[in-house]
């Protein structure tokens, strides 16, 4: 297993090399929700499956390894536009969170979630590929935080695309720098597991 941080001043990590079994979603009961092409499996059958109980402990291990190596006082979200000083990630007790809500998702061809920032009740998000996907979570990482003067705000951004191979994924903290979207195309469906941790 490998964990890397692509950008030293962005609270986002890639991971690779998880042992993900082949998953046959057809053996599970139908999805519990359908949001314009996103199918969410929340039933008890999938939670007791060998696939689920194999994958989730590996993701929990990733969280633990990142939190053990990334000191809260070193997690920066970029430069303060007023002072040009590094700004600490604003969360209090960065690695404490209320719940782990891992869900298996199946995004159908044509599913779109346009550019957005996550709800600030979410502390961090984790997304892992359950198969070799084509579509990915795409980011526009802003190089400038909230400006001192709106007339000075000429944002530049870095385009970043999360990995798509089975057993790879990302963990990131939502800030006003991490705009992201998902557009599923060029494949029948995208299979991922996602967890949004909530504020403690």
CA–CA distance, 33 with 43 (Å, rounded to integer) = 10
d(CA 71, CA 90): 14
- Mean per-residue pLDDT, 154-160: 83
Mean pLDDT of 158-174: 95
pLDDT for 75-133, tens place per residue? Answer: 766 555 555 566 656 666 778 888 777 888 889 999 999 999 887 778 899 999 999 99
pLDDT attached to residue 79: 55
Nearest residue to 85 via CA among 9, 28, 22: 9
Contact criterion met (CB below 8 Å) for 135 and 126: no
* CATH code, residues 2-20+30-198: 2.60.120
Q: Which residues pair with 122 in a beta bridge?
A: 198
* Report for 4-8, 44-48, 150-154, 167-171: range of highest mean pLDDT: 167-171
Distances from the Cα of 188 to the Cα of 50, 72, 128, 163, 183, angstroms: 25, 40, 18, 18, 12
- For the beta carbon of residue 9, count every other beta carbon within 10 angstroms: 15
Domain range summary for the chain, segments of one domain joined by +: 2-20+30-198
pLDDT band at 37 (very low <50, low <70, confident <90, very high): confident
Compute the distance between CA of residue 17 and CA of residue 3 in angstroms, rounded to an integer.
9
- Is residue 33 classed exposed, middle or buried when 0-12, 13-18 and 19+ CB atoms within 10 A define those classes? exposed
Q: DSSP secondary structure string, 27-45?
A: GSPPPSEEETTEEEE-SHH
């Amino acid at each position: 297993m490998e964990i890397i941080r692509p950008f030293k001043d962005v609270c986002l990590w890639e991971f690779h090399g998880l042992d993900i079994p082949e998953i046959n979603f057809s053996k599970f009961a139908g999805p519990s929700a359908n949001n314009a092409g996103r199918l969410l499996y929340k039933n008890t059958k999938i939670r007791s499956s060998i696939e689920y109980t194999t994958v989730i402990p590996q993701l929990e291990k990733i969280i633990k390894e990142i939190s053990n190596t990334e000191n809260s006082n070193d997690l920066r979200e970029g430069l303060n536009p007023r002072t040009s000083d590094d700004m600490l990630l604003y969360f209090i007790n960065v690695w404490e969170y209320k719940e782990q809500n891992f869900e298996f998702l199946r995004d159908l061809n044509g599913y779109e979630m346009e550019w957005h920032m996550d709800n600030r009740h979410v502390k961090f998000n984790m997304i892992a590929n359950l198969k070799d996907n084509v579509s990915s979570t795409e980011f526009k990482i802003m190089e400038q935080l909230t400006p001192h003067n709106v007339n000075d705000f000429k944002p530049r951004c870095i385009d970043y695309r999360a990995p798509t191979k089975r057993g790879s994924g990302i963990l990131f903290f939502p800030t006003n720098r991490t705009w992201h979207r998902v557009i599923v195309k060029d494949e029948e469906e995208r299979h991922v597991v996602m967890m949004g941790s909530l504020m403690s």
